[in-house]
């Protein structure tokens, strides 16, 4: 072989080697050049549409704060209305997976809607990020590498109620909650830490029951030290109204989780004063990410955000952290999962990390409703009830 041919051959080999080395970067660049598609399922019609709209507003605000991009890649969000019906939520989830071919699915207020929608998402190996519902089944034996909760496990806030009851010296407790997945988790959560005696428990028909006079009569007869309720949205407004009208509020203190929020407080007003609440987040938590979120939400929507909004804002930032870490290569499921598990974003809740079942380990606080100087009503954080709390179902999760 002549020297000139050897030089030409060596040059060709170097060019081929350079092209081969460039292939992964080129492929990654091509992968990252497309849009990130996110499906978001929530309740956007009916009497609880305010919560779904709050979630949508917060997710949109997070995207606005990101400049409409995650990891430098444009984002498209497709919002779907589950109508608070499990069968509709499942249909909308399947539509997002099969027709829209989304990269992530997020949202889900209600545990029964999430449970109905869970299998189609997981079977398709699409990452599902819950922004609210956290049923115990998904934290334990039905956990999945493709599911993350950006909110809580259903038991957690209610377990904090159990501990708060202990701190306040309650010994005899009456419990009322709706008879569906979240209500069952809620009552079990309280009982897991409460050291006193549960003298009565009623599980009401969900979602049709709005008259609680029978349950209130039972409470009056039982004469407990405290009453615990879990009733979100209008059910919480109804219970607080009827409980006060029955004259029990002044004698038997109310403890609750998810029953008072920025929406219901506008109707509950004085009814929510002097009651005991637990929550993982508040508008007054002193973290820069929270201040940015709350200020941005109030400026844009002229109203305070709910915890539903706070968790949706976190869900958007969690997804963005995974997109950035993988440089948009979402076909590498292991890398995406690792990035989601790392949770390298600034949460509005401050300290936040995932347990082995992909549910948060986080602080839970006591909150109280109060009347502001201008005569309005708001919620403020009183104390930390549980620190770096992990749900009790993680040990059952085998991933």
64 class by beta-carbon count within 10 Å (0-12 exposed, 13-18 middle, 19+ buried): exposed
What average pLDDT does this structure show over 117-126? 98
Q: Residue 299: helix, strand or coil by DSSP?
A: helix
Tell me: pLDDT of 280 over 90. yes
pLDDT in tens, 175-206: 999 999 999 999 999 999 999 999 999 999 99
- Give this prediction's pTM: 0.90
Greatest Cα-to-Cα distance within the chain, rounded to the nearest angstrom: 106
Q: What is the pLDDT of residue 175?
A: 98
C-alpha pair distances (Å), 378 with each of 135, 144, 263: 28, 38, 10
Sequence spans of domains, the chain: 36-152+283-358, 155-279
How far is 261 from 274, CA to CA, in rounded Å? 15
Of how many residues is the chain composed? 399
Tell me: pLDDT of 26 over 80. no
What average pLDDT does this structure show over 66-75? 97
Q: Residue 79: helix, strand or coil by DSSP?
A: strand
Tell me: pLDDT of 7 over 90. no
Check: CB of residue 249 under 8 Å from CB of residue 221: no
Question: Do the domains at 36-152+283-358 and 155-279 have one common CATH topology?
Answer: yes
Check: CB of residue 305 under 8 Å from CB of residue 296: no
Strand pairing partners for 368? 380
Check: CB of residue 123 under 8 Å from CB of residue 93: no
pLDDT in tens, 78-96: 999 999 999 999 999 999 9
Q: What is the pLDDT of residue 34?
A: 87
Q: What is the pLDDT of residue 18?
A: 45
Could you tell me whether strands 172-178 and 147-149 are parallel, antiparallel, or unpaired per DSSP bridges?
unpaired
Helix count (H) and strand count (E) of the chain?
13, 14
What average pLDDT does this structure show over 217-221? 98
Q: Which of 168, 130, 138 is nearest to 155 (CA)?
A: 138
Backbone CA torsion sign across 330, 337, 68, 83: positive
pLDDT in tens, 342-394: 999 999 999 999 999 999 999 999 999 999 999 999 999 999 999 999 999 99
Q: What is the pLDDT of residue 13?
A: 44
Domain boundaries 155-279, corresponding CATH code: 3.40.50.2300
Q: What is the pLDDT of residue 23?
A: 43
Task: Tell me the percentage of the chain whose pLDDT exceeds 90.
Answer: 91
pLDDT in tens, 131-152: 999 999 999 999 999 999 999 9
Q: How much is the CA Rg of the chain, to the nearest whole Å?
A: 24
Q: Is 125 left (phi over 0), alpha (psi -120 to 50) or beta?
A: left
Q: What is the pLDDT of residue 390?
A: 97
Domain boundaries 36-152+283-358, corresponding CATH code: 3.40.50.2300
Which range among 33-37, 184-188, 286-290, 322-326 shows the weakest confidence by mean pLDDT?
33-37
Q: Residue 36: helix, strand or coil by DSSP?
A: strand
> What is 199-254 written as a DSSP string?
EEEEEE-TTT----HHHHHHHHHH--SEEEE---HHHHHHHHHHHHHTT-TTTS-E
How far is 182 from 397, CA to CA, in rounded Å? 19
Check: CB of residue 367 under 8 Å from CB of residue 384: no
The alpha carbon of 102 is separated from its chain's Cα centroid by a whole number of angstroms, namely 20
pLDDT in tens, 150-163: 999 999 999 999 99
Tell me: pLDDT of 51 over 90. yes
How far is 104 from 398, CA to CA, in rounded Å? 23
Tell me: pLDDT of 62 over 50. yes
């Amino acid at each position: 072989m002549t020297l000139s041919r050897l030089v030409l051959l060596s040059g060709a080999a170097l060019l081929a080697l350079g092209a081969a080395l460039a292939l992964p970067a080129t492929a990654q660049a091509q992968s990252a050049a497309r849009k990130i598609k996110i499906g978001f399922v929530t309740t956007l019609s009916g009497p609880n549409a305010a919560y779904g709209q709050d979630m949508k507003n917060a997710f949109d605000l997070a995207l606005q704060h990101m400049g409409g991009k995650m990891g430098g890649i444009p984002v498209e969000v497709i919002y779907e209305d589950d109508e608070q019906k499990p069968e509709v939520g499942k249909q909308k989830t399947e539509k997002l997976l099969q027709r829209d071919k989304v990269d992530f699915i997020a949202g889900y207020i209600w545990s029964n809607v999430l449970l109905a929608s869970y299998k189609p998402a997981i079977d398709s190996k699409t990452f599902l990020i819950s922004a609210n519902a956290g049923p115990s089944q998904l934290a334990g034996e039905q956990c999945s590498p493709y599911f993350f909760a950006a909110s809580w496990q259903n038991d957690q806030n209610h377990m904090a109620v159990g501990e708060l009851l202990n701190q306040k010296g309650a010994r005899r407790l009456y419990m009322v909650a709706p008879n569906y997945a979240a209500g069952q988790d809620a009552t079990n959560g309280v009982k897991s830490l409460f050291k006193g005696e549960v003298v009565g428990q009623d599980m009401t028909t969900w979602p049709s029951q709005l008259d609680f006079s029978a349950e209130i009569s039972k409470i009056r007869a039982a004469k407990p030290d405290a009453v615990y309720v879990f009733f979100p949205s209008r059910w919480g407004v109804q219970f607080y109204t009827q409980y006060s009208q029955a004259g029990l509020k002044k004698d038997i203190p109310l403890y609750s989780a998810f029953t008072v929020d920025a929406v219901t407080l506008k109707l509950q007003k004085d009814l929510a004063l002097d009651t005991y609440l637990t929550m993982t987040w508040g508008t007054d938590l002193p973290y820069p990410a929270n201040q940015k979120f709350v200020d941005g939400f109030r400026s844009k929507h002229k109203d305070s955000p709910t915890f539903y909004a706070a968790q949706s804002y976190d869900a958007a930032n969690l997804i963005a952290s995974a997109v950035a870490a993988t440089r948009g290569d979402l076909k590498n499921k292991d890398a995406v999962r690792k990035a989601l598990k790392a949770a390298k974003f600034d949460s509005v809740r401050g300290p936040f990390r995932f347990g082995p079942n992909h549910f948060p380990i986080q602080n839970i606080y006591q909150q109280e409703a109060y009347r502001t100087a201008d005569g309005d009503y708001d919620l403020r954080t009183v104390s930390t009830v549980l620190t770096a709390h992990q749900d009790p179902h993680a040990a059952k999760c085998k991933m």
